[in-house]
């Protein structure tokens, strides 16, 4: 079946340790972690990537709370926050994340937020995103239910009752994430290979990401 893409991508970028990037480029090793991991543990590695709302199905503002015990209001200081409700059925499914670059960035200007260079010392520029996606689809066919699309970022100015695995807070919008979701229920990381992608990728040092520009031919 030929899939019609409803969005356009110029590049996908994976950033990480050089040894991991080399495995991705040479063998097509896709290493994904659980939704629960990204919500609870990634702070131990890179604070900028952590999303403590990962997997939330709803997110609502709360303020002016009162603490009442036995019909008596007790001293309680709480200004404001958010109530996030999670669907535990997603916790052990797996996600694989990349940085997405769209044709809108092809204006000759710098287009990558310098903060993403902190995700790892090496970056892999995937120059044919559509082919990369097709190879992942082929490798996961009849094995894992694979879905993918750009992440949508939501503002804290509103309440949301119907979030999906493809939603994240607006504060993380600098990540410009393109996400794969694998409905594979297991606590361990999910790994599989799609074969070498050396024909559709270029490896660079992450510190050079902030110098990249795109132009239309």
Rg value, the chain, Cα = 20
List residues bridging with 33 in a β-sheet.
Answer: 95
| Cβ pair 211, 110 in contact under 8 A | yes
Helices (H), the chain: 18-27, 35-40, 129-140
Q: ∠216-97-201 over CA atoms, to 5°?
A: 45
Q: Please tell me the number of Cα atoms within 13 Å of 73 on its side-chain side.
A: 5
What pLDDT, on a 0 to 100 scale, did the predictor assign at position 86?
86
What pLDDT, on a 0 to 100 scale, did the predictor assign at position 78?
63
Which of 52-61, 91-100, 107-116, 160-169 has the highest mean predicted lDDT (pLDDT)?
A: 91-100
Nearest CA among 174, 177, 155 for reference residue 165: 177
What pLDDT, on a 0 to 100 scale, did the predictor assign at position 2?
42
Nearest CA among 174, 168, 138 for reference residue 155: 168
Is residue 162 very low, low, confident or very high in pLDDT (cuts 50, 70, 90)? confident
Is residue 42 very low, low, confident or very high in pLDDT (cuts 50, 70, 90)? low
pLDDT digit string, tens, across residues 97-146: 999 998 887 777 777 888 888 889 999 999 999 999 999 999 999 898 99
What pLDDT, on a 0 to 100 scale, did the predictor assign at position 44?
44
The three-state secondary structure class of 35 is: helix
| Cβ pair 50, 38 in contact under 8 A | yes
Helices (H), 107-185: 129-140
Encoded tokens for 26? 């040479």
> Phi then psi for 120, rounded to 5 degrees?
165, 165
Encoded tokens for 213? 């520009």
Residues 6 or more apart in contact with residue 71 via CB below 8 angstroms = none
């Amino acid at each position: 079946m030929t899939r019609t893409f409803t969005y356009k991508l110029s590049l996908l970028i994976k950033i990480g340790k050089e040894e991991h990037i080399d495995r991705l480029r040479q063998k097509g090793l896709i290493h994904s972690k659980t939704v629960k991991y990204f919500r609870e543990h990634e702070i131990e590695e890179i604070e900028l990537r952590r999303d403590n709302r990962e997997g939330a199905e709803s997110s609502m503002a709360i303020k002016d709370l009162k603490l009442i015990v036995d019909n008596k209001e007790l001293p309680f200081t709480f200004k404001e926050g958010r109530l996030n409700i999670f669907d535990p059925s997603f916790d052990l499914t797996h996600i694989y994340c990349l940085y997405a670059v769209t044709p809108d960035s092809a204006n000759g200007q710098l287009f990558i937020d310098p903060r993403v260079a902190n995700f790892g010392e090496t970056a892999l520029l995937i120059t044919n995103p559509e082919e990369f996606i097709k190879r992942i689809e082929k490798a996961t066919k009849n094995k894992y239910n694979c879905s993918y699309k750009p992440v949508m970022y939501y503002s804290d100015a509103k309440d949301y009752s119907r979030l999906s695995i493809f939603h994240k807070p607006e504060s993380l919008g600098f990540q410009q994430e393109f996400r794969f979701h694998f409905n594979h229920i297991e606590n361990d990381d999910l790994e599989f290979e799609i074969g070498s992608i050396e024909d559709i990728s270029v490896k660079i040092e992450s510190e050079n990401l902030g110098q990249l520009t795109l132009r239309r031919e």
